[in-house]
Structure 1
Amino acid sequence: MSDKTVKIQLVKSLIGTRESHRATILGLGLRRVNSISVLQDTPSVRGMINKVSYLVKVIS
């Protein structure tokens, strides 16, 4: 098991976004603008980040 992590921050509001993108953001553990979540760096998490890349910023 790898102990690599990725830190992401929600930088844009969810207002006016697709429902599936909102669900993805919640799945990543982000709730409000500027909230930060630290997750395991797995292919599934990377795919979720790529799906909502216009809403989030990868910090590390």
Structure 2
Amino acid sequence: MANDKVKVTLVRSLIGTRKDHRATVRGLGLRRLNHTVELADTPQVRGMIAKVSYLLKVEG
């Protein structure tokens, strides 16, 4: 894979979201609004991103 990193930013609040979605966001390493992390582009990470995509901005 040429680009093996993906940048993920939390852009929506976790207030009112499901408990398992909050846990998924924490599992991605995101702690607060507008927090950005760079993660390995694996199928597992892509699945987590897909689950909570309505809360995130993804680059790369």
Pair in the same fold by TM > 0.5: yes
**TM-score (norm: length of structure 1):** 0.93
Task: Give the 4+ runs in structure 1 shifted more than 6 A.
Answer: none
Contact 1:3 1:40 in 2 (8 A): no
Structure 1 residue runs of 5 or longer lacking an equivalent are none
Q: Partner residue of 1:44? A: 44
Structure 2 residue runs of 5 or longer lacking an equivalent are none
Task: Report % sequence identity.
Answer: 63
Matches of 1:59 and 1:16, distance apart in 2: 25
2:12 matched to 1:12? Answer: yes
